Structure 1
C-alpha cells in the first residue's frame, strides 16, 4: 500500500520552535528565565493522575506534565510532534505509521520504545471510557522496530490524528504495568512518565508535587524547578490565596463575580480564552429509568421552565453561550445553529405536565425529584439552586444533594442512584470522541464514569454516530452529525445549559502557560516566570 506524502517532520531549530510556540516573540524579548516553583490551583481533586483508564476532568491539568502523548496541538488543533516525530497516513485512511523520538528515557531510567506505544493504545481501546470509541476501529498496533509503530484500522477514523494528546491518550511504560490490571495499577496515582516533570508526592486533600526532569529530551526545558498543584475547593479561600501570592495560577476556582475586581489588582491578570481541545459544556442529564423522567413530555416541561439566558447573565455573568443542543457552538465544524428550541415558557411547561396526567396535590406539588450537581465551581451550585426554584413554579419539588467528587461519580455512574444531575462534560476536539459517549447505547456501562449516564438508547442515533465515526467526507460527516443533533433535541435525554469558560487567573509573572490547544493542560515545559 502506498502512503501519502503527508509526513510531518520534527523540529527545525530551537529558534523556529520558540517562534512557533510563543505568540508575538521577537528577538528583542527576553529569553525564558530558568528556575522557580509554580503554584497551580485546581478546585476539584481528581481520583487519578493519569488518564489511561479514567477520564476524570481535573486530571487533565496534571497528566501531561508527567506522562506524554504521541502528539500535541497548536491553537488551531494542528498536530505537532511530541513522542512521535513524524507520521504518515495511507490514502484510504486505514493505516498510520509513527516514527518515535529516540533517546527518550522514562523517569526510572528505562528506554522509551514502540512497545510502550503498543501497550498504551491497546489499553486505551480496552479500558478507557472514551478510548473505546476513539480506538474502536483499531484492528492492530504493531512495533515494526523499537522506534516505528504501525496502526491498522478496520474502518477509517477521521478524528484519530487529533486524539493523541497526553491528556486524552497518554503513553505509559509497558514495563511498569507488566501483566497487572491497568484499572487498579498504582501508576495511576504515582505515575512514571517521560514528561518534563517527575512525580514526587501526592498528599490527598492537599497537593501534588512535581519536580523538574533533569534528563528531559527537550533540553533546556522545562524552565521551572517545580510545580505544586494545590487543591482548594472553597472559592473564597482560592481568591484569598491568589491575592496573597500563595497561588500563582488558578483555573475554574475563582467565582465569576470576583473577576472584575481581580482585574484591578496590578499583580494579577485574566486569560478567558476557551481551551480548543476540551470545549467544556454544562448540562442537565436525566436518568431515563426514573418513572417521571422517562416521559419525554416531562423532560420537555423541565426544558421550558428553565431560562438559559437568565443563567448566562446572572450566574455565568455573560461568560459562555446558551447551549441548545448536544454539540458546543465552539465546535464550528460540527455545530448546527438553527436547531429547534424549548423556549422559556412556564405556562407551556405546566400544560405539558397537566396533559401528562401529573396533577398538583393540595400543596401544589406534582412529584419530587433529587438533583445532584457536580461538586466543583460555585456555578454548579448556583445553577442547581436556580433550577430548584424554576421547577417549583411548575409543581416539581426538587431536593439538592451535595457530596464529594468520588461519591458523586459512584452514585451516578455505578449505583445509578439519582434522578437527574447537573454536570460538566468536555465535547473535546471531535464529536466522535467527546459527544458520542454520552448518547451511544453501547456506551451505557454502569461503573464507567462520564459515559451514557442517562441510559439513552435510540437505534437511529446509534446508526448516525457509528456512520459519522468512519465517514471521511467532510460534508457528509457534518450532515450525519446535523441529523443526530436534531434527534437529540427532540428526544431530550439531556438539556444543554451553557458552554463553559473558566477564566484563568494568574500572576502576571507567569509566562507561556497557554501555548496550544490543551491550554493549562499542556506539559508546562514552556512556562517560566518573567524576571
Structure 2
C-alpha cells in the first residue's frame, strides 16, 4: 500500500534545537544541501533500550539502534542475497567446514583505531557465542577464527552450518571493537551504552529512557554515506502519542510496528504517508506465550493444553493485531516457507469446555471462589500488543478458573524478571523467529539454550532429548529435503509438548511520511544501517 502527497512540517525541529539536541543552525542549513543528501530523521519508539548494541541483547530497541553504529561482515539484498559490508569477498569450502572472509581495508572505528580481523575473531568467539541471545545456537559449530593477516578471517566449523551465512548482518552479528572489550567484563563494559563502531552514525547524545541522538560519521568507509545528518529517536511510552507525532508532523517515520496496527492502517490511507511490509525478511516476528516449566502446575502438559484451548489466537490476531499477521499454528513462522508445516502438528482450537475438562483431569478443581489456581503473566512492554492481549488472556483464563495477575514493568526489569530471576509463570512477548529456524526458533526449545541471564533464550526451561537431537541435526543438514522433514518432526513434537504457545505470526510494517526516501531498500529495511535514507526538502 503506497500513497503520495506532501505533508506540512511542524516546528518540532526548532523545539529540539531549543533543548540542545539539534543545533538551530543545522535546521536552516539543510535547504542549502542537495536534495538527495542530508536531513534529520525523527522517530518515536518504545521501550527505551538497556544497551546500545545488539551483540549482547537481542531486544527490539537494541536491534534497531545497533546497525546504525556498527557494521556486520555482510548485508542482504531482497531475497536474503548476501552483499559486501565489512567483508568484501567470501568463500565456503566444498565440505562446508571453512569460510574465508576478505575484509575491507581502511576502515576505522569511531575512535580512529583501525578495524582488523582480530576484531572479527574476538566478536564471534568472545561475545556472540557467549552473550548473544541466539549466538549460542547460531554459532555452536564455530570452533575458531584464524586471522593470518589483518584483512583475512577464516571461520573453522566443526560441522556445516547452513544458517550461519544468513546471520552476518549488522543487527544479528555486529562487529565490536576488540581493543575496547578485551580484558573487561563484557556485560558491564561502558562501551555498551557509549558505542564505538565502524558504522555510518556516531552517538551524539544518550539520555537514558528519553532519547538517542546519532550524528553522521564523516569518516565512514562508504564514500558519500550516510546521507542523513542525524537520527533522533525519542522514547515515548504512550502509543497514541507516537501516532499523533507522525500524523502531526512531529515525527517522520515509525518503524517495527511502534504504533498500534489500527493506526498504521488508518494512516496508510492518508496521502502523506506510505506503508510497506518489505524489509523484514531477516526478522519474521511472532507474538508467543511461554510457560515457566519450573512451576509445578505448568509442568503438567494437560494444564498447558488447557490454557491453549482457552485462548482464541484468532481473536487476538484480528482484534489486537488488526489482521496484520496470521494466527500461530506451529513453533515456526509461516514465512519460513521452506520448513513451516501444520501437517500432523497438534492444534488447540478455542474451546473453553475442553479447557475446563483438561484442568479437571489434571486434578485442579475449582475452589469456593470458582478459581483453580493463580498465575502471574508478564507481558513485554515492546510495542502495545502484548500488554493489550494480556487483558484478554486474563479474562478468558478466568473463565477457565485460572486467576491471572498481569504485571507490567519497564523493558529492562521485564527481561531481568523473566530470563535472569525467572520469577514468572507466563510471559507474553514478540520475538524474531529468524531468517532461518536455527537463528530464531532453536533458542526457545533447545535445552542447551537454557541460559539464565540471557534474554529471549529458553526461558521455559524446556528439555526434550528428541527435540535437541532434531534441532542439532537440522542445524547442520545440507540436504534441504531431509532438513524439511527434521523440522516437520520437530514441530509435531514441540507443539505437543507445548512449552510455548504461538499466538500470532506477525506481518511487520514501516509507515513513513512520503518525504522520507529509501528507508526500505533491502532485506533488512529499518533494521539495517539506514545510511541510504534521505529526506526530501
Q: TM-score, normalised by structure 2?
A: 0.91
1:327 aligned counterpart, secondary structure: coil
Change (3 A) 1:474 1:110: same
Distance in 2, Cα, partners of 1:83 & 1:491:
42
Deviation at 1:218, TM superposition (A): 1.1
The aligned residue for residue 290 of structure 1 is 295
Q: Which runs of 5+ in 1 are unaligned?
A: 1-30
Q: What does residue 239 of structure 2 align with?
A: 235
Distance 1:208 1:52, change over 3 A: same
- Contact 1:233/1:253 (8 A) holds in 2: no
- Contact 2:280–2:508, Cα closer than 8 Å, also in 1: no
Please name the residue that 1:301 is paired with.
Answer: 306
Q: Which residue matches 2:346?
A: 340
Aligned to 2:132: 128
Match of 1:411 in 2: 417
Using the TM superposition, give the Cα deviation of residue 127 of structure 1 relative to its aligned residue in structure 2, in angstroms: 2.5
Please say if residues 131 and 454 of structure 2, whose CA atoms lie closer than 8 Å, have aligned partners that are also in contact: no
Q: How far 1:147 moved relative to its partner? A: 0.9
Which of 213, 221, 226 aligns to 2:217? It is: 213
1:519 to partner: Cα distance: 1.5
Q: Report the Cα distance in structure 2 between the residues aligned to 1:412 and 1:177, rounded to whole angstroms.
A: 27
- What are the Cα deviations for residues 450-480 of structure 1, in whole angstroms up to 9, with x where unaligned? 1110010101111111111111111111111
Secondary structure of 1:321 counterpart: strand
1:446-465 equivalent positions in 2, closer than 5 A: 446-465=452-471
How far does residue 526 in structure 1 lie from its aligned partner after superposition?
0.7
Confirm or deny: 8 A CA contact 2:279 2:524 kept in the other structure. Answer: no
CA distance in 1, matches of 2:130, 2:375: 36
Query: How much has 1:41 moved relative to structure 2?
Result: 2.3
Distance 1:174 1:414 in 2: 27
- Pairwise CA distance, 1:443: 1.1
Q: Choose which of 67, 76, 79 in structure 2 pairs with 1:64.
A: 67
> Is 1:272 matched with 2:277?
yes
Partner of residue 113, structure 1 = 116
Q: What residue number does 1:104 align with?
A: 107
Alignment of 1:27-46 (within 5 A): 33-46=36-49
Task: Give 1:192 shift.
Answer: 0.8
Contact 2:284 2:434 survives alignment (8 Å): yes
Q: Contact between 1:312 and 1:319, CA under 8 Å: does it hold in 2?
A: yes
Query: In the alignment, does 2:153 pair up with 1:145?
Result: no
In structure 2, distance between residues paired with 1:448 and 1:260: 35
CA drift at 1:149: 1.2
Matched, 1:311 2:316: yes
Tell me the distance in 2 between the aligned counterparts of 1:286 and 1:192: 38
Shift of residue 356, structure 1, vs aligned partner: 1.4
State the partner residue of 2:451. Answer: 445
The answer to whether the Cα contact below 8 Å between 1:384 and 1:422 also exists between their aligned partners in 2 is yes
Q: Give the structure 2 partner of residue 259 of structure 1.
A: 264
User: How far apart in 2 are the matches of 1:131 and 1:225?
Assistant: 33
Q: Tell me, yes or no, if the aligned pair for 2:356 and 2:400 is still in contact at 8 Å.
A: yes
Q: CA deviation at 1:377?
A: 2.0
The Cα RMSD (Å) is 1.4
Q: Is 2:83 aligned against 1:88? A: no
Divergent runs of 4+, >6 A:
none
Residue 198 in 1 paired to residue 199 in 2? no
Secondary structure at the counterpart of residue 102 of structure 1? coil
- Please state whether the residue corresponding to 2:338 is helix, strand or coil: coil
Q: For residue 193 of structure 2, what is the aligned residue in structure 1?
A: 189
Question: Is 2:171 the partner of 1:162?
Answer: no
Instruction: State the secondary structure of the residue aligned to 1:39.
Output: strand
CA distance in 2 between partners of 1:280 and 1:244 (Å): 29
Determine the C-alpha separation between the residues in 1 that align with 2:182 and 2:350: 55
124-133 or 139-148: bigger deviation: 124-133
Please report the TM-score for the alignment, with normalisation by the length of structure 1: 0.92
Q: Secondary structure at the match of 2:304?
A: helix
Of stretches 246-255 and 427-436 in structure 1, the one that deviates more from structure 2 is 246-255
Q: CA deviation at 1:400?
A: 0.9
1:327 is the counterpart of 2:332: yes
The question of 1:482 aligning with 2:488 is answered yes
Distance 1:259 1:436 in 2: 31
Instruction: Give the 3-state SS of the residue equivalent to 1:469 in structure 2.
Output: helix
Residue 87 of structure 1 contacts residue 99 of structure 1 at CA under 8 Å; is this kept in 2?
A: yes
Q: How much has 1:253 moved relative to structure 2?
A: 2.0
Check the 8 A contact 2:206/2:212 in 1, yes or no.
Answer: yes
Match of 2:501 among 474, 495, 503: 495
Residue aligning to 1:28? none
In structure 2, what is the equivalent of residue 466 of structure 1?
A: 472
Q: Partner residue of 1:524?
A: 530
CA distance in 2, matches of 1:81, 1:125: 23
CA distance in 1, matches of 2:304, 2:350: 13
Return 5+ residue gaps in structure 2 as ranges.
1-33
Residues 71-82 of structure 1: pairs in structure 2 closer than 5 A: 71-82=74-85
